[in-house]
Every structure is written in C-alpha cells, then in structure tokens.
C-alpha cells in the first residue's frame, strides 16, 4: 500500500532534512561513545568525552530548530504529536549518552567494565537502526525496512534491560563497596535509559507508519 | 446528566473490550503479586514470579493492540489523548509490578518486609479500583461509582507515599548495610511508582468523565 | 508583531487568574524553601516545612481547578497541550520542592550543605522568573520580557545541573559513609529535578509565544 499511497505523503522540505540531521548526529555521538569506553588511554577518553559534549550541543540546536518549525508551521508531514515524541526521544537519547559520559568523567571511573562496553554498543546499534528508519521515512517506499528497524530496536532494548539487571544483581553480590555500587549503577542506568529512549523513538516511528504507510 | 447524555457516547465495539482486557489483566497480575510477597516457600515464589512475567507479556500485547486501533481509527470513544494516557498508565503499572518482582528475584531478597507486603496490597487495591472504573466507562451510567474509584485511588497513592517515605527513613536509621538499603529501596520504589501510575490512570479517567458524563 | 496581533489573544477571564494563582503559589513556596534551608533553628525549620506542606496542598487545588476548566471548556486561551504542559510543570516544581523538604525532615538532615542552599536558591530564581513570565502571558505585550525569562530559566537549569554533578562527584570522593551519600543525593536530586521542571514550564511558555506573539 505504501507504494500506491506514497504520493500522499507531503514532500516536506523543511522537516525531513532536520529529522535526518538529528538522527545523523545521534549516530555520530553513539559511535564516539563506543570509542570512548573502548580506549585505554585516559587522555584519549577525555578528548572523546569533550567531543560527546560538543555533539550534545549540536543535537540541542537541531531539536530547538525542529520545535520552532513545529510551532510556526500549520502543516506538518506527520501528526504533530508523533513528531514531538520522535524528536524529544532522539534528543533524550543524546542527553543520556552525554550523561553517562559525564558521570564516567566526574566519578573518575577508570576501568570500563564489560557491562559498560556492552551497553554502549547496544546504544550504538539502536542509534544506527533509528538513523536508517528516519532516512526511510522521507520516501515511505521502504516501509518493511522501517518496520524491521523498529523490531530490532525493541529487541535491543530488551537485551539492554537484561544486561543491566544481571549486572546490578552481580554487583550486589560481588562488590562490597556500596559507594562503588552507586557510581557504577548511575553510569549503567544512564546507558540503559538511552536504549529505553530508542524504543520510545521507534514507537513514534511505528505510529507514523500505521497512519501513513 | 450522565443518564440523559449517555446515548451520545459512541457504543464502540473495538475499544471497550480492549480496555477491559487491559484492566482485567492488571487486576490479575496484582493479585499474583500479593500472593507472591505473602508466600514463605521460595519455590512457590519463583513460580509466581514466572506467572507475573507471563502476564506482563499479555499486557504488552493488549497495549500494542489498542495503540494499533488508535492509530488506524479516526473515530475513538474518547479523546485520543485520554485513551493514550489511560492505556500507557495501565501498561506502566503492569511494568512496575513486573519490575518489583524481578528485583526481588535478582537481588535474592528472601525476607519480605512488612513494607513490601503493605505496598503490594496497596497496588492491588488500586488495580481493583481501576478495573471497576474501566468496566463502568462503557455505559457511563455509573458516573458516581467511577468518581468514587478515582477518589479512592488518590488516597491509596497518598498512603503508599507515606509508607514508602517512613520505611526509607527507618531504613536509614536502623539498617547499617548500605547495599541492603539500596536493594530494598529499589523494590519499594518500583511498588510505590506502580501506585503513582494508578493515579495517572485515574486522572485520565477523571478527565474522560468531565468531558462525557 | 506582538503589539499588532495582541487583540487576537482571547481575553480569557477564567484561565489567566488561575495561571497566576499557580505561579504566585510557586513563588511563595520557593521563598519558604530558601528560608527553610537557611535557618539554623530546628524548630523554625520544622515550622517552615509544615508551611511548605500547606502550600503544596494549595497548589494541588489550583492545578485541579485548571484541569477541570480545561476539560469543560471548548475554547481555551492557548493550545490545550501547552496549557497542560505548563500547568503540570508548575505543579511538578511544587511537588519536588515539597519532596526535598520532606526528605530533609524524614532523613533527619540537620546540616544544610552549601550545595543544598545553592540549589534551593536556583529553584527560587527559576520560580520567580516563571511567575514574571506567566503574569506577562495575559497581555502578550511584553513578549521580549517573557523570552528573557525563558532564557534565564534555561541557564538556571544548566547551573543547577553543574552544581548537582560537581557535588555528587565530590561526595563520592570525600564522604565515606554510603548511607550519608544516598540521603544527601536524594535531597539534591529532588531540588535539581525541580529546576528541570522549571525548564519544562519555560519550554511550554516558549511554545505559546511562538504561536501567539
């Protein structure tokens, strides 16, 4: 049906480039996140955290631009509600990536545990799938690919949930220093919440698909 | 006025059975929760936690079904916004019930404290009131009963709030093991948040009542 | 443009006085909060916490009144969505102020740290700016003042974020008692979240400005 009806989808020239700018930025910041938790050099890590900070500001500016467009345009390519949820979720993912990086720095966590690395990778996978889905929103010709991405993001979130729960449970058993538990829990929780927000974004995209594809 | 105007309420055949399916499932999962925190047999507890997990999946499927109907139907029995809030909140309650059960298992909490039992019971009371209110939404003929349920849910949430606050304060005074404090706090906080979500659902129902009753 | 188009803004007689009542109450409760964290007398502190509790109830009643008006009026001065976000956020700020005060009392925190005092002051600054912005919403003639307030609230939130992050990081380094860390973190986190909610309210106001000014 997508093929037949796709001409009905407004060929909006303002919104789609902005959506892609937001998801492209998300893809980039999550790649830096994975690089950052995998480096063993403290200087390199500091540099990468600075880059994450910079990209968070870039994301803020794009979000702001989209909300301005949303408020000043009567006609939007999708339901305002769906756009609002999608864009807020993309912004939230970036914020939680930034939050996890900031905590790693501030709490002086020098050893990146396997769980931190695994969760960072899951965030990146979610971000990549979202970028693919957002790029395909413009033409709507690839609705099966969009749906596939949303399904994958759902299973990524479930996986992250399990990694988080198991790690915290193990931490409670093995780590006797409560302060250390609190610190690690704060970092893992920011990463796990980032995957929750990936799911929120995927849900907004699914909702758009049901209405237009 | 409800009696006079009730014929104006669309006799929707798709949505109401789904709303009731969601609230019936919530009623069931919260009954299992109370059974689970009251059993002294670890095997029985594990079994009941598995059943909670199963019902969480059932709830997810119903939520998904309602959101699909919401996206593909132009006409809905109530404001889409209110339906969205109501259904999301019912889903959230189920999620937090599941979350508290999962934490009890993962953190190997073997002794159910009076506060855990009390909060589980408050969640169940809230769930029962919500199921009653949702059942009465269909006819709108019992608006005073719906309102009563919403008032009760509000006072249940206040009560849960107090139990939570007092228990945490006592825990800080009496429990010297910080790790134990963190564990118990996580379980209590999931249960207390479940009652917050009951209140969100009740607020959505109140909003529907003001518009249609 | 605001001047030219301002006659288009409905001169609503129900909503504006209620908005101002809500923001006036917020201004008041945040002033009491600052007084409370600055007093050295435990009795005085208890009294002020009681006053905070009383004003929280006042805020609840106003919120409830606005939501009732919103549900029963077809015509509203701004988009329902924006009103909903604005009023919910004002209510949330009051709740988090109350929450921080309750925790100070329940956890028997007797020494108000510089970070607690600083964050309370930032909450008050945010509340004052919001009250100014809300008062100016009625006429829309002062759109530059409203915008200025929103910009200030954004920078207040950033400042609060930094104070929170730095304090937690320092706490992790200097405080060896994990229970103490958890307690202080709970109080600071309630205050910091209050400034987040100030930003949400400011965003709702900005959204209204873009549409009407």
Longest dimension (CA), chain B: 62
pLDDT of A14: 87
pLDDT band at A74 (very low <50, low <70, confident <90, very high): confident
pLDDT band at A8 (very low <50, low <70, confident <90, very high): very low
pLDDT of C2: 42
B182 neighbourhood in chain A, CB within 8 Å:
172, 178, 181-182, 185
pLDDT of C115: 97
Query: Which position has the token pair 């139907």?
Result: B73
Q: Give the separation between CA A101 and CA A48, rounded to whole angstroms.
A: 9
Residue whose C-alpha is closest to residue B167's, from B97, B109, B102, B119: B119
Structure tokens at A151: 């399904």
Cβ of C210 and A68 within 8 Å? Answer: yes
pLDDT of B2: 42
pLDDT of C10: 53
> Helix, strand, or coil here: A12?
coil
Residue whose C-alpha is closest to residue C109's, from C54, C190, C183, C28: C183
Average pLDDT, chain A: 91
CB atoms within 10 A of CB C3: 10
DSSP codes of every residue in C10-31? ---SSHHHHHHHHHHHHHHHHH
pLDDT tens digits for range B9-34: 455 778 999 999 999 999 999 999 99
Lowest mean pLDDT among A7-16, B57-66, C156-165: A7-16
CB nearest B71 (choices: A165, A185, A211): A211
Q: Give the separation between CA A199 and CA B95, rounded to whole angstroms.
A: 15
Residue whose C-alpha is closest to residue C135's, from C18, C32, C29, C1: C18
pLDDT of C5: 47
pLDDT of C3: 44
Cβ of B172 and C178 within 8 Å? Answer: no
pLDDT of C8: 47
Q: Is C179 on the interface with B (CB under 8 A)?
A: yes
Q: Give the separation between CA B36 and CA B56, rounded to whole angstroms.
A: 15
In this predicted structure, the answer to whether residue A11 has a pLDDT above a threshold of 60 is no
Do residues B57 and B28 touch, judged by C-beta distance below 8 A?
no
Do residues A208 and B71 touch, judged by C-beta distance below 8 A?
no
pLDDT tens digits for range A156-174: 999 999 999 999 999 999 9
Residue whose C-alpha is closest to residue A86's, from A190, A2, A193, A209: A209
pLDDT of C210: 81
The backbone torsions φ and ψ at residue C76, rounded to the nearest 5 degrees and listed phi first, read -130, 155
Give the dihedral sign, CA A102/A108/A112/A118: negative
pLDDT of B68: 86
pLDDT of A10: 53
pLDDT of C200: 94
pLDDT of B142: 81
pLDDT of B160: 97
pLDDT of C198: 98
pLDDT of A56: 97
The Cα-based distances of B128 to B160, B162, B202, C174 in angstroms read: 15, 21, 12, 48
pLDDT tens digits for range B147-176: 999 999 999 999 999 999 999 999 999 999
Restricting to A residues 39-78, those with a Cβ less than 8 Å away from any Cβ of C are: 67-68, 71-72
Do residues C209 and C143 touch, judged by C-beta distance below 8 A?
yes
Q: Give the separation between CA A201 and CA A92, rounded to whole angstroms.
A: 10
Q: How many CA atoms lie within 13 A of A21 on its CB side?
A: 17
For chain C, 213 residues long, give each residue's pLDDT as a single digit of tens: 344 444 444 557 789 999 999 999 999 999 999 999 999 999 999 999 999 999 999 999 999 999 888 888 878 888 888 898 999 999 999 999 999 999 999 999 999 999 999 999 999 999 999 999 999 998 877 888 999 999 999 999 999 999 999 999 999 999 999 999 999 999 999 999 999 999 999 999 998 888 775
Q: What distance, in Å, lies between the first and last C-alpha atoms of chain C?
A: 7
Q: Give the separation between CA C213 and CA A23, rounded to whole angstroms.
A: 31
Structure tokens at B58: 């059932």
Buried b (16+ CB within 10 A) or exposed e, C71-89: beeeebbbbeebbbbbbbb
User: Testing the interface with B: which of C106, C177, C183 to mutate, by most B Cβ within 10 A?
Assistant: C106
Domains of chain A: 13-212 (1.20.58.220)
From the number of C-beta atoms within 10 Å of its C-beta (0-12, 13-18, 19+), residue C21 rates as: middle
| Chain A CA closest to residue B184 | A172
User: What is the rounded average pLDDT of the residues A130-147?
Assistant: 89
Do residues B46 and B172 touch, judged by C-beta distance below 8 A?
no
From the number of C-beta atoms within 10 Å of its C-beta (0-12, 13-18, 19+), residue A119 rates as: buried
Structure tokens at B176: 């010297």
List helix spans (H) across chain B. Answer: 2-5, 15-38, 42-72, 80-106, 114-137, 143-174, 178-212
- Name residues whose C-beta falls within 8 Å of residue C63's C-beta, 6 or more positions apart in sequence: C22, C87, C88, C90, C91
User: Testing the interface with B: which of C67, C91, C179 to mutate, by most B Cβ within 10 A?
Assistant: C179
pLDDT of C212: 75
CB atoms within 10 A of CB C121: 19
CB nearest C172 (choices: A71, A102, A179): A179
pLDDT of B1: 37
Q: Is B1 on the interface with C (CB under 8 A)?
A: no
Query: Which position has the token pair 């530059």?
Result: C144
Q: Give the separation between CA B53 and CA A19, rounded to whole angstroms.
A: 36
In this predicted structure, the answer to whether residue A140 has a pLDDT above a threshold of 50 is yes
List helix spans (H) across chain A. Answer: 2-5, 15-38, 42-72, 80-106, 114-137, 143-174, 178-212
In this predicted structure, the answer to whether residue A72 has a pLDDT above a threshold of 70 is yes
pLDDT of B5: 47
pLDDT of C4: 46
CB nearest B178 (choices: C72, C103, C182): C182
pLDDT band at B118 (very low <50, low <70, confident <90, very high): very high
Average pLDDT, chain B: 91
The Cα-based distances of B112 to B37, B100, C54 in angstroms read: 6, 12, 35
pLDDT of A213: 59
- Category of C140 on φ-ψ map: left (φ > 0), alpha (ψ -120 to 50) or beta: left
Structure tokens at B188: 């209590």
Do residues A67 and C207 touch, judged by C-beta distance below 8 A?
yes
Q: Give the separation between CA B82 and CA B94, rounded to whole angstroms.
A: 19
In this predicted structure, the answer to whether residue B65 has a pLDDT above a threshold of 60 is yes
Chain B: list its partners (3+ Cβ pairs within 8 Å): A, C
pLDDT band at B212 (very low <50, low <70, confident <90, very high): confident
Cβ of C168 and A102 within 8 Å? Answer: no
CB atoms within 10 A of CB B41: 9
User: What is the rounded average pLDDT of the residues A123-150?
Assistant: 92
Q: Is B174 on the interface with C (CB under 8 A)?
A: no
In this predicted structure, the answer to whether residue B202 has a pLDDT above a threshold of 60 is yes
In this predicted structure, the answer to whether residue A21 has a pLDDT above a threshold of 50 is yes
pTM for this structure? 0.88
The Cα-based distances of C183 to A67, B129, B178, C61, C108 in angstroms read: 38, 34, 11, 30, 9
Q: Give the separation between CA A212 and CA C48, rounded to whole angstroms.
A: 55
């Amino acid at each position: 049906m997508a093929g037949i009806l796709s001409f009905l989808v407004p060929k909006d020239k303002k919104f789609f480039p902005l959506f892609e700018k937001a998801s492209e930025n998300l893809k980039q910041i999550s790649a830096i996140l994975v690089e950052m938790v995998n480096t063993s050099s403290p200087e390199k890590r500091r540099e990468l955290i600075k880059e994450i900070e910079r990209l968070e500001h870039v994301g803020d500016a794009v979000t702001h631009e989209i909300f301005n467009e949303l408020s000043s345009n009567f006609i939007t390519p999708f339901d305002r509600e769906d756009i609002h949820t999608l864009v807020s979720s993309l912004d939230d993912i970036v914020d939680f990536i930034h939050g996890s990086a900031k905590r790693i720095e501030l709490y002086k966590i020098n050893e990146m545990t396997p769980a931190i690395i695994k969760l960072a990778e899951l965030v990146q996978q979610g971000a990549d799938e979202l970028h693919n889905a957002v790029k395909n929103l413009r033409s709507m010709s690839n609705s099966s690919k969009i749906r596939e991405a949303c399904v994958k993001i759902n299973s990524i979130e479930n996986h992250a949930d399990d990694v988080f729960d198991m790690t915290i449970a193990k931490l409670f058993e093995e780590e006797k220093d409560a302060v250390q538990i609190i610190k690690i829990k704060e970092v893992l929780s920011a990463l796990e919440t980032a995957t929750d927000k990936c799911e929120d974004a995927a849900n907004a995209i699914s909702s758009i698909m049901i209405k237009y594809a």
